[in-house]
Amino acid sequence: MVVTAKPAPNVQRSSRLRAWKRSDTWAAWLFIAPSLLGLIIFYVVPFGRGLLISFSDWNLLTPAEPVGLANYSKLLADATFWRSLWITLSYVVINVTVQIGLSIGLAAFIARFTQSVWVRGLLILPYLLSNVVVALLWLWMLDPLLGVINEALMAIGIGRQAFLGSPQQAIATIAAINIWRHLGYSTLLIFAGMQVISKELYEAGAIDGAGEWHMFWKITLPLLRPVLVFVLVTGIIGSFQIFDTIAVTTQGGPANATRVIVWYIYEYAFVRFEMGYATTLAMALFLILLVVTAIQMRLLRAGESDL
Amino acid sequence: MRYERARTSGFIAVLLILSMVLSACAAAAPAAPAADAGGAAAAPASGGEAVTLKYVLWDTLQLPAYQECANQFEALNPDIKINIEQSGWGDYWTSLQTSMVAGDAPDVYTNYIGQVPEYADKGQIMDIQPLVERDAVPLDVYLPKLADLWVREGKRYGLPKDWDTIAVIYNKTMFEAAGIDPAIMESWTWNPIDGGTFEETIAKLTLDANGNNGLSPDFDKNNVVQYGFIPQGTGGAIGNNAWSHWAASNGFKFQDALWSNQFYYDSPALAETIEWYRSLWLEKGYSPGLADVTSLGPQALMQAGKGAMTTDGSWQINNYVTGDVDLGFGLLPTGPEGRRSVTNSLADSIWTGTKHPEEAWKWVKFLGSAECQDIVGKSGAVFPAIQSGVDEVLKLRESQGVDVSPFFEEASEPGVTFYNPVADNFSTVSTIMDEVMDRIMLGEVDDVAAALKTANDEINAALQ
Amino acid sequence: MILLLALIMLFPFWWALRTALSEPRSIFRDTTSLLPAEFTLNNFARVVGLVDSAQAVAMGGSGTSINFLLAMRNSLIVAVLSVTGQIFFSALAAYAFARIVFPGREKLFALFIAALMIPGIVTLIPNFLLIRELGWMNTFPGIVAPKLLMAPFAVFFFRQTFLSINRDIEDAAKIDGANHLRIFLRVILPMSVAAVTTLAILSFIGEWNDYLWPFLVGRNEDVRVLTVALGVFRSQTPQGAPDWGGLMAGAIVAMIPTLLLFLIAGRKAVDAIQFSGIK
């Protein structure tokens, strides 16, 4: 009974599946339709439109004037643009390297000494706050005269620092603020990556007489590569677009020391209302990120093979 | 199959409902703005229906007074409602222009003369000259020159509401402790070389941790506990309450006349002034550094008792007299070319995109009338543009025992006041000057004259 | 070490609370004591709109009446709408990409992935214009629309998750005559609770904290979200000091929902964030 009954459902099954397939295509499109609509209306079309606007002069109140490639040649000769690019880059480098370095250390520390959810919860707390709130908190604590941090520095004899008010310190200070917010997040990602690594590898290492430090370098770090690449890629793309913290704290100052690329675009678009040049700058940022991502994709692919 | 179709149509129904919910949101959500968006075709006050006007200003100190004006106006015009919104100076203009672009700007807005060219050029300020003529609005009620400030090439862009001047704000207790008679302010002098008796006073009022003042040979400028002077930031392109009075009293002028496209930021008179101004904190230790001032604000420093003097405008009087610290007002010192103070005047302008131009004009007329300006005067927030309003301020201050006469003395003394620069594309001027002034005041630039020359060349080239 | 960590992570919260509970004028005089300088609840009363402008000035505040409770309601509306919308629609699309074979699938998916690489600022300006043309300025649809239908990352993330789900259960469902919608709702979604939670938490944090977009299209008080309200509150005083007491009280009010979320779903939130990286 059991043996003879078996083929029947199989036949039935495959014919049903085939019938099922026929309606698949339009079901798929139906499923994708809302997202596709969103994609077209809010990503594809705007992108094309942005490109079009970049070939014109437009203040949104009087009609746009076509100017051809004038905005692009202006861009190439715009020293402020190149400077803002440089500022952005220095921010990205400080932010990403320090954050990842600290996160690895912290994650290793947590993995080794405590499994408490509370400690991890503590770390993630700042990430729950908005950039605006975080920026306000630190703006207040870093205040040159009334800020509690300067009072502390005075007490231990270092003396007051201008922090956000100093062209030399401002960008590093902003990086530090954002590191405070994102540290827990990247630490958790890396910590999770560490949890996935098989314990047996460490046991084997221990049998071979490898020290903890040695195992960290030879086992933990190489196996963490996929997670590290993820943190790196999202970190770099995100840092390139730093805006909120600067909008709340320095607004590009002092002496334009924190005029990062997105702030510069914002100034052109919504302070000076020169939409043509603003979109040109945005397109430039897009190209830069494309190149950066392309380089990182290589890394990413390399990362996959390791897993 | 049928079963499946029923299922998918169920799904489509869900989508449909969702989209309906969405469009319903779209229709219902914008309570106030949609009211005029929907009534795009509606002509002014189609009788019966109440019209709501949106009015914006930036100063919180003035908000209560203008709310009071609005209440009175609504009582007189039951078919018009005034909705006042306040947004801080920090993003007032960005916010205003964004709303113009978005098509839902306020019907009437508080305007500053420096912003007129930009908005006039883009067709965002209504020319009210025809209305003024039609209704024969008496312009002679305003203090001299105020009404005509708003006229360019026959077009009138607003009715004046107030005026201001700059004076010295000083800490009475600190003057007394240093043994300085405030009467010195009647005759004190300033020059960019040694700062005159004004700088001497600053020095006497600056104390280090050991109690030495700025004139003492033992004065430790790295350990100051009480600053003689609190600067008002970099001042950017206009130096409004920061350095414009020093520069002008040293013979500097921004441009030949308002609206001129030729600027003189390369003048040695300005460079000298700026050198002196920044030396207060970069070299002498009489003032807190720029970073301290910009992050905290000069008023907070004065109210925290960290400084003995500063310069500020009459629109800030309320901020200084409400604190616990006992502050007074004094005349600006006389410079090589005499005593000078900038004067500003604000007006109320109508947005060209308003759906209710007649009602908006009615409101502007009311704002510019003695009725409203007396209310503003009683609040003491600013000096109104009409004499009776000014008298109200004086009455109030007298009752409080606060002497604000220096502001008036400067306004009435001939040749003292001057205007901030006005030009088309002034935002370009601002962008360039903000940056160079930042660098100069932070001490990043050694040669002030050269830096100002470079900036000025850039400005004049950009404005041609 | 853990103590030091706790200090670095927690001290700013305490300092914000301490400032919010201090009398505004005393903040300037007493800058170091760890306890509030002259304890008061006035700052909170001001930010939740319990006092009017004149009283606020008398209390030493900026006199700006910003209603943070209203802003919080707006933030909730915006965040909840965008999160539910984008998660549902993204998962729907991801299901099609992961489970249905149809012509052009790979190319279409590539298009979605390409959208991931467009920086926000590039589409920001044209989207601003679009919302203006639709007449949706200062409305909830205007703020929510660009995020409601999808998020490229969510599509990508869900597709990965769905691909890892065993097909046998689905095949069994198909034999029972279930269609795709049914499979999606009854089989795939229930099996992906962890992924949905992860993304819901992450995008809630993201939407709750979003600043620039609502700043541009939602300035009016009736739709203004918390982050924008705080920014506006900050830029109130032209030359004076920021109203620190009020700002910190506002900041604390703004923290409450995410902190609540954290307290209620603390462990889940931690797991969720960890989870998002390994996928």
Q: In Å, how far are A107, A123, B343, C45, C270 from A187, measured between CA atoms?
A: 5, 8, 56, 38, 11
**A105 residue type, one letter:** G
User: Which residues of chain C are within 8 Å of residue B89 when distances are taken between CB atoms?
Assistant: 235, 237-238
How do residues B211-229 score in pLDDT, each as one tens digit? 999 999 999 998 899 999 9
What is the three-class DSSP state of A81? Answer: helix
C219–B322 CB contact, under 8 Å: no
User: Which residues of chain B are within 8 Å of residue C132 when distances are taken between CB atoms?
Assistant: 101-103
- Whether pLDDT at B3 is above 70: no
What is the three-class DSSP state of B167? Answer: strand
Q: Distance between CA atoms of A59 and A275, rounded to whole angstroms?
A: 6
- Whether pLDDT at B4 is above 50: no
User: For testing the chain B interface, which of A145, A169, A250, A259 should be mutated: the one with the most B CBs within 10 Å?
Assistant: A145
B89–C132 CB contact, under 8 Å: no
Q: Supply the DSSP string of B269-302, one letter for each residue.
A: HHHHHHHHHHHHHHTS-SS--HHHHHHH-HHHHH
Are B372 and B366 spatial neighbours (Cβ–Cβ below 8 Å)? yes
How do residues B322-379 score in pLDDT, each as one tens digit? 777 899 999 999 999 999 999 988 999 999 999 999 999 999 999 999 999 999 999 9
**Considering Cα of B386, then B391, then B394, then B395, what sign does the dihedral take?**
negative
Span A24-38, average pLDDT: 90
Span C88-110, average pLDDT: 91
What is the three-class DSSP state of B310? Answer: strand
pLDDT band for position A281 (50/70/90)? very high
Chain A residue closest in CA terms to B434: A255
Q: What's the pLDDT score for residue A128?
A: 85
CB-based contacts of A83, cutoff 8 Å, min separation 6: A256, A259
pLDDT band for position B293 (50/70/90)? confident
Give the percent of chain B with pLDDT over 70. 89
Q: Distance between CA atoms of B57 and B61, rounded to whole angstroms?
A: 10
Q: What's the pLDDT score for residue A121?
A: 82
Span A270-291, average pLDDT: 92
Q: Distance between CA atoms of C22 and B163, rounded to whole angstroms?
A: 36
Q: Is B292 on the interface with A (CB under 8 A)?
A: yes
Residue where the block lists tokens 């590191």: A179
Q: Is C134 on the interface with A (CB under 8 A)?
A: no
Least confident of B94-103, C128-137, C240-249: C240-249
Give the distance from residue C76's alpha carbon to the nearest chain B alpha carbon, in angstroms.
15
Chain C residue closest in CA terms to B233: C239
Residue where the block lists tokens 């949106």: B54
Please provide the distance, in angstroms rounded to a whole number, between the alpha carbons at the two ends of chain B: 74
Which of A183-187, B301-305, C60-64 has the largest mean confidence?
Answer: A183-187
A218 DSSP assignment: I
Q: Distance between CA atoms of B156 and B24, rounded to whole angstroms?
A: 43
- Whether pLDDT at A300 is above 70: no
How do residues B89-106 score in pLDDT, each as one tens digit? 877 888 898 889 888 899
Tell me the average pLDDT of chain B: 86
Span C226-248, average pLDDT: 76
Give the distance from residue B40's alpha carbon to the nearest chain A alpha carbon, in angstroms.
18
- Whether pLDDT at C62 is above 70: no
Q: What's the pLDDT score for residue A240?
A: 93
- Report the DSSP pairing between strands B341-342 and B417-418: parallel
User: Which residues of chain C are within 8 Å of residue A184 when distances are taken between CB atoms?
Assistant: 9
- Whether pLDDT at B310 is above 80: yes
Q: ipTM of this model?
A: 0.86
Q: What's the pLDDT score for residue B36?
A: 38
Q: Which of C247, C228, C261, C263 is nearest to C16 (CA)?
A: C247
User: For testing the chain A interface, which of C88, C129, C270, C271 should be mutated: the one with the most A CBs within 10 Å?
Assistant: C270
CB-based contacts of C235, cutoff 8 Å, min separation 6: B87, B88, B89, B90, B91
Span B402-415, average pLDDT: 90
How do residues B150-205 score in pLDDT, each as one tens digit? 998 899 999 999 999 999 999 999 999 999 999 999 999 999 999 999 999 999 99
Q: Which of C230, C227, C274, C268 is nearest to C249 (CA)?
A: C230
User: Which residues of chain B are within 8 Å of residue A165 when distances are taken between CB atoms?
Assistant: 289-292, 294-295
pTM: 0.85
In total, the C-beta contacts within 8 angstroms joining chain B to chain C are: 116
Interface of C with B in 16-75 (CB under 8 A): 25, 28-29, 53-54, 57, 62-64
Which of A20-24, A279-283, B28-32 has the largest mean confidence?
Answer: A279-283
Q: What's the pLDDT score for residue A178?
A: 95
Q: Is A16 on the interface with B (CB under 8 A)?
A: no
Q: Distance between CA atoms of C99 and C169, rounded to whole angstroms?
A: 13
Chains that touch C (3 or more CB pairs under 8 A): A, B
Nearest to B60 among C25, C220, C236 (CB): C236
